[in-house]
Amino acid sequence: RNIARFFKHESCGQCTPCREGSGWLYQLLSRIEKGDARTKDLDLVLEIATSMGAMPGTTICGLADGNNWAVRTIVNKYRDEFEARVRPSFVPVTMSVGAAANG
């Protein structure tokens, strides 16, 4: 999330891929960090990162390319950790009705 915050902060906002992409990446990575993400959010992170700066000449500088490269590298290298973070967890709740009824 910190790397996404850096790129979001450094974006001048003139280029749509960088302005919108860095904001979305920051939001999605924040959601993953908080544990509020779903598996499809991780796929969306990679999709956004891959599309940022993918077409030459669509950005003024190389910031979008740097953001794209950094996020894709981190997610691909630590994919297992990211997947564990977005994996739904099920915690069974057991309750003894008899004990509660007897007071």
What's the whole-number mean pLDDT along residues 51-71? 78
Contacts 24+ apart (CB under 8 A), 25-29: 25/49, 25/67, 25/71, 26/1, 29/1, 29/4, 29/71
Which residue bears the tokens 């894709």? 72
Give domain 2-88's CATH architecture. Answer: Up-down Bundle (1.20)
pLDDT band for position 97 (50/70/90)? Answer: low
Reference 22, options 43, 42, 3, 40; nearest CA is 3
pTM over 0.85: no
Give me the phi and psi of 61, to 5 degrees please: -130, -170
CA of residue 18 relative to chain centroid, distance: 15
Helix axes 39-51, 63-77, angle to 10 degrees: 150
The pLDDT tens digits for 27-51 are 999 998 888 888 888 889 888 888 8
Helix axes 79-86, 63-77, angle to 10 degrees: 80
